[in-house]
Structure 1
């Protein structure tokens, strides 16, 4: 396996979750190069990707020879680095394999000849419902018969709440008549994770949420995103049955 990426990304290797991580099976397999990767391969960002620069942020070279680029935006925090509004594309020919919009924050890893993109969500999945980044959807790109294949699936290990925690969340919904918007959206997040933990009643409460706690503005937009996550989860769960 061989991995190639820009020198500017080397400083990101020590960062934590939701950062770009480029790993190889052995340290010697990782090499730093500049574009083009080799004279026969000229790689630029596809025109349809909303990207200010035509130069890819990073390149990944698979052992069988295909090269893919990552073009888009990186957001640097105090300890974390995210990719958002970006695309994974083949270099020859130029073809967008998948695009992630502004709603997504992702981390990238390259291991065992597979590029993995983890879409992460900041959800109350930690101790005492503290917020932490949780991997929600996983996309993988890998070579097969000279082509780059793509598979996408929801994180099957996402079961963040215990039965006791689910019971606490449902009880709060049942007994609380009104909440300030900032508190109600936190309850909506906890109900979502309770539903994702397999509790059907929590899912019903989540769908009833806008009727009991009306939301406007940014809070309504955040709830709409939570609704999208639950729809994706339910759709994939139904397909597995």
Structure 2
């Protein structure tokens, strides 16, 4: 960013911060005690995120090939909403000074959201790939048949798609995908023995890595999974390469 523009940007942030402080003083002068006892004006009278920052559901359908990868409109919408939430989180951490345990917990929630999107894409794809097997009379004897557990469990689904060369990503990326998924599954406040504030794995670097993993998985499934939709997996070679 050019020096003068950065100077204006930082000065605007200072002004916005002062106005927010003034608004809180107005509330306290009126007898409110935010956040315990709060006050809010109507939605369109509140502070607004600039139009266009949070992308539309249609934008995400195009960017992440949702119309091609997914049949159910409700699933497409739910994934798009989760991606919109990711944009919203992105705005908060890039425009506001978030620190300490709140920053850690924010990145944690951002990470959970992205991994949940990856999980939805993988499970959707493996079930659509399996549609062809369901029509085959030899499905029970086929080594390439996708079993029930793979259709319902993200880790097993990813491993099966990887074996079939449908989730065609480098070995190290696949291993990292499973690690990221395990991170997500081990997140339980009551069962976590480590102080989450001191658990530094939830940070900007991990979030950015999860976003890159989402893009990689989505691009690979778009290229490799769709050709197998409705195709009997008996026509796929044992080593996982398509005939």
Interval containing the TM-score (normalised by the shorter chain) = under 0.3
Query: Structure 1 or 2: larger strand share?
Result: 1
Query: Structure 1 or 2: larger helix share?
Result: 2
Report which structure shows greater RCO (CA 8 Å, sep ≥6): 2
